[in-house]
Amino acid sequence: MTDKIAIIGFGNIANAIITPLLEKNLIQPENVYCVVKSKKSLENIRKNYKHNINVYESSSKDSNKIWDCQVKLLSVKPQHFKDIIEPDILKTKDNLLVSILAGISIESLTQKFPNHKIARVVTNIPITVGKGLTGIACGENLTKDEKQVTKNLFENSSKVYEFSEDYLDIFLALTSSGPAIIALIIEALSDGGLSGGLPKNLSEELAMEMILGTICLIKEKKITTSELKNLVTSPGGTTISALRVLEKKSIRSALIESIVSACNRSKEFS
Ligand SMILES: NC(=O)c1ccc[n+]([C@@H]2O[C@H](COP(=O)([O-])OP(=O)(O)OC[C@H]3O[C@@H](n4cnc5c(N)ncnc54)[C@H](OP(=O)(O)O)[C@@H]3O)[C@@H](O)[C@H]2O)c1
Q: What are the backbone dihedrals phi and psi of residue 136, each rounded to the nearest 5 degrees, phi first?
A: -115, 130
CA 239 to ligand 1 center in whole angstroms: 44
Residue-wise pLDDT for 136-152, tens only, equals: 999 999 999 999 999 99
* Buried-state track 223-254, b at ≥16 Cβ within 10 A, e below 16: eeeeeeeeeeeeeeeeeeeeeeeeeeeeeeee
Residue-wise pLDDT for 222-253, tens only, equals: 999 999 999 999 999 999 999 999 999 999 99
Closest atom, ligand 1, to C-alpha of 13: 16
Structural domains in the chain, CATH included, are 5-168 (3.40.50.720), 176-269 (1.10.3730.10)
* pTM attached to this predicted model: 0.94
What burial class does residue 100 get, using C-beta atoms within 10 Å of its C-beta: 0-12 exposed, 13-18 middle, 19+ buried?
Answer: buried
Q: Which of 37, 72, 101, 128 to mutate to test the pocket of ligand 1 (most atoms within 8 A of CB)?
A: 37
Average pLDDT along the chain: 96
Residue-wise pLDDT for 95-135, tens only, equals: 999 999 999 999 999 999 999 999 999 999 999 999 999 99
Name every residue whose Cβ is closer than 8 Å to that of residue 32 and which is 6 or more positions away in sequence: 4, 5, 7, 18, 22, 51, 53, 54
Q: What are the backbone dihedrals phi and psi of residue 57, each rounded to the nearest 5 degrees, phi first?
A: -80, 145
| Any ligand 1 atom below 6 A from CB of 64 | no
> How far is residue 165's CA from residue 135's CA, in Å, rounded to a whole number?
9
CA 84 to ligand 1 center in whole angstroms: 12
What burial class does residue 33 get, using C-beta atoms within 10 Å of its C-beta: 0-12 exposed, 13-18 middle, 19+ buried?
Answer: buried
| Any ligand 1 atom below 6 A from CB of 38 | yes
| Any ligand 1 atom below 6 A from CB of 58 | yes
CA 13 to ligand 1 center in whole angstroms: 7
The residue nearest atom 7 of ligand 1, judged by CA position, is 123
Give me the residues paired with residue 117 across strands: 96
Closest atom, ligand 1, to C-alpha of 36: 34
Name every residue whose Cβ is closer than 8 Å to that of residue 187 and which is 6 or more positions away in sequence: 204
Q: Which of 10, 13, 57, 177 to mutate to test the pocket of ligand 1 (most atoms within 8 A of CB)?
A: 13
Q: Which of 17, 54, 75, 177 to mutate to test the pocket of ligand 1 (most atoms within 8 A of CB)?
A: 75
- pLDDT-derived band at 205, boundaries 50, 70, 90: very high
Closest to 142 (Cα-Cα) out of 176, 118, 114:
118
Whole-number pLDDT of residue 50: 95
Name every residue whose Cβ is closer than 8 Å to that of residue 16 and which is 6 or more positions away in sequence: 127, 128, 130, 132, 157
| Any ligand 1 atom below 6 A from CB of 66 | no
What burial class does residue 270 get, using C-beta atoms within 10 Å of its C-beta: 0-12 exposed, 13-18 middle, 19+ buried?
Answer: middle
| Any ligand 1 atom below 6 A from CB of 60 | no
CA 184 to ligand 1 center in whole angstroms: 25
Amino acid at 29: P
The residue nearest atom 39 of ligand 1, judged by CA position, is 41
| Count of beta carbons in the 10 Å neighbourhood of residue 98 | 25
